[in-house]
Chain A
């Protein structure tokens, strides 16, 4: 039997929701295809092609939520799931103290398609596996490399969102990413160096333009240099951080605390709350005047730029930190009224048809400054240049953090010199961002992001991009990476 028409199912479900007396309801159909190719130590270890198809129904009844979802798309299952969502919402309503009231959003009827030059699912598999095998061979040509990994990933999300308010939104979204790494051993130690493309909403052209085979020899050489490099002496250093590294620092120390649901306590039992409490908005000095952090869910190719979020709210651009002052949150239609805002910022996203949408970090980017990278380095007598992601950890209110990196170089008298290892820096979020005294210009801007941002119970993976140019931070506490330090 062919799958039932989604619009017919949506109409059937939304009629039931309306008839129940609920004030709002929506249905999201999602058909996701994910291809993952993993290489390990010169072999293709796995190729997986997953189709994940289903629908989720949200109901707001007397100010309380219910959600039910199923992977069975049938004329029998859709009403069952709708009735279950209504019943669950009624149960939630029985314990409601403060009723949820959604802020208004215009009705939208639209279709969003990711522009791409090369559909990743049309690229021959042999071409992809050959690229990964050649990359790993190249890595192992470097003496001292003992392990390698290389992978490609592509996802297509075909989604239909229909609400009782009349919105109907269709999506055909792509995302692509790839990476490889090499591990070297030396005198009982080991160290890895990783190359990541950003995850972006593009076609396979992202992988072609990443030039794995050009980058691999450099990465392998640096992995060996890294494992043999001298360890860093703990102390105070000026840091110059590259855009990829900054994407994680921003994500953890600015992105998460700017989620309004966290500030309101929704994540108190898991991901945590936020030191950026609502009383701080508009007055709290988060960083130096060089620090401008802007949420932009409209920039093409970025992960959160999906046209509309899973509330059916149009994507927007707004300030999180302006000249060092904390000014804005990521919100959805439910929590926006808590800070007196009349419209959601459109940051409500679910990671699958089976998950309920929650507030997620937007594409928060670090606005470029005026300097060149050379100028940032030139004014450092004794510092460290950090590339990429390493170890990271932060307290549940996002104050006390520490970050490692993927590669580290000493900066001596204005020049990047030798590699060092075991660099971990530690700080308190506002003091750290307060120590920023220079940001590189737009020509240095790069876009990195995440598809594994954990939040929610049950856990969900959020997707967002964090563009940045290089930036300099003064007198940061580098604690080294050994036990007991």
Chain B
């Protein structure tokens, strides 16, 4: 199989086809309002473990969703079958549900026609990539690990999707989106090292760089020492920072805020983290995975959520936004956390200036323990090290932590420029690596 396969990949729903399809749905619907959306996706994943391919998959899935409303009664039906008969049946099913539904006091008609920014959501090289390209990249990582007599486990994936939203209000949005991902866990006996990347362009996965990072961590991970639980200064690599911040982002919901069931209730406008930190949404950044519009057809917008440490923006559903007179609903599809003032160029510089700290590559299985103060727990994973006098001196057994981001991000000592951060349980963010004081490691595991 050559890397420039001559296969013709299935053609996904084009803008013109989506316009035809949406007009057909809108014409068939007798509802007061109708919303139609399509996600037509083709992609695949090459998965490897113990230096060989264990799964190699390729899936094409088209999904059509129709929401019909009569007054305040609404229903949604979906199908993966785009044939005329199925489309007709889906409209009928949504209509039948709507007729039988109770009135929803929070119902709002679909949004009207919008103007959209056009983020760089699709890259031709990713759209053209098929299983051969994925296999080539997997082989590159595996070969590096084999040379070092280490074990590689990971994935290379790529996908292309066309996404459209249209409504009886005149709303029409359509865009192409591509995405490629690479992640690698290198095993050296008991020790593991990890690296990951995600980008709209498969050319930007940095396979070699991430592989070397994971190999280096795995090789350093042998003979891990056990330190007792306790509070330690830490250096959190970007993936670890992203893991904690992702939990904080889910607490921004406006309705929960108003009902008093959010850890942030009552804190709008107040400082919640170190005043040097600002969280913005930057949908036009090429190194994030921003989109042009939401599933409801709302345009994504650049916005500031935490500004110089203060909580400045709630995440609104359309009903709550209307109740509060919010006319532009901010989105959080492309988060970027940055620090003001002196920041270090990279992680290596942060390590160099550290007298003693625990370096955390990544967190795993982060879950809320106490939603009232946003206490989280989780485990360190795939590279936990002791740093002394500006250098890594040994590997450490993994810790469990108990911390609230609302507390720990008020104990910031230093940070780098924001860089790409991907975790297995969250999306992609731009965040800095950070040095923090008194991080609470509550127990140690056996490896």
Contacts and interface: CB of A to CB of B under 8 A. Distances in A.
Contacts of A77: 10
B403 interface: yes
A268 B152 CA distance: 9
A259 to B, nearest CB: 13
Nearest to A354: B59
B260 A49 contact: no
Interface in A36-74: 43-54, 56, 64-73
B101 to A, nearest CB: 6
Contacts of A483: 370, 373, 375, 402-404, 407, 440
16 contacts: A44-B104, A51-B81, A52-B78, A64-B53, A65-B56, A87-B7, A88-B56, A91-B131, A94-B1, A95-B142, A267-B153, A354-B59, A355-B59, A395-B381, A428-B446, A457-B155
B270 interface: no
A167 B443 CA distance: 50
B162 interface: no
B443 A146 contact: no
B3 to A, nearest CB: 10
A404 B400 contact: no
B402 A485 contact: yes
A481 B368 CA distance: 10
B275 interface: no
B259 A147 contact: yes
A391 B372 contact: no
Interface stretch (B44-52, B301-309, B335-343): B44-52
Contact of B153 (A81, A90, A183, A265): A265
A89 B155 CA distance: 16
Interface string B361-390: 000111111111101011101000000000
Contact of A266 (B54, B74, B370, B404): B54
A402 B400 contact: yes
Contact of B185 (A66, A268, A484): A268
Given A51-B78, A269-B185, A393-B377, 4 more contacts: A49-B94, A92-B135, A147-B261, A426-B442
B132 A65 contact: no
A98 B56 contact: no
Contacts of B197: none
A54 B61 contact: yes
Per CB-CB distance, the 7 closest pairs between chain A and chain B, nearest first, are A400-B445, A268-B153, A71-B80, A92-B53, A50-B78, A269-B185, A354-B59
- Greatest chain B CB density within 10 A among A91, A147, A266 is at A91
A44 B116 CA distance: 31
Interface of B: 1, 7, 10, 44-63, 65, 74-83, 86, 90, 93-94, 97, 100-102, 104-106, 131-132, 135, 138-139, 142, 151, 153-155, 157, 183-185, 187, 192, 194, 259-261, 364-373, 375, 377-379, 381, 398, 400, 402-404, 407, 424, 440, 442-447
A396 interface: yes
B77 A49 contact: yes
A127 to B, nearest CB: 10
A19 interface: no
- Greatest chain A CB density within 10 A among B79, B131, B155, B440 is at B131
Nearest to A394: B365
A263 to B, nearest CB: 12
A399 interface: yes
B76 A48 contact: yes
Does more than half of chain B's interface fall in helix, strand or loop, or is it mixed? Answer: strand
Contacts of B440: 483-484
A210 interface: no
- Greatest chain A CB density within 10 A among B192, B377, B440 is at B377
Contacts of B155: 269-270, 457
Interface of A: 1, 43-54, 56, 64-73, 77, 80-81, 84-85, 87-92, 94-98, 124-126, 129-130, 133, 146-147, 183, 185, 188-190, 264-270, 272, 275, 354-356, 358, 391-397, 399-400, 402, 404, 422, 424, 426, 428, 457-458, 479, 481-485
A50 B77 CA distance: 5
Contacts of A269: 47, 49, 153-155, 183-185, 194
B101 A47 contact: yes
A48 to B, nearest CB: 5
A61 B446 CA distance: 40
B446 A68 contact: no
Given A53-B80, A124-B100, A402-B377, A190 B45 contact: no
Nearest to A398: B445
B366 to A, nearest CB: 7
B75 A49 contact: yes
A395 B45 contact: no
Contacts of B260: 146, 185, 188, 190
Given A88-B131, A268-B192, A457 B45 contact: yes
A393 B1 contact: no
Contacts of B52: 64, 95-98
B438 to A, nearest CB: 9
A126 B370 CA distance: 37
A358 B104 CA distance: 41
Given A69-B57, A91-B56, A458-B45, A265 B367 contact: no
A84 B58 contact: yes
B400 A51 contact: no
A92 B142 CA distance: 13
Contacts of B105: 43
Nearest to B64: A51
Contacts of B424: 270
B135 A95 contact: yes
Contact of A129 (B59, B80, B102, B366): B102
A267 B368 CA distance: 24
Contact of B187 (A50, A268, A391): A268
A270 B77 CA distance: 33
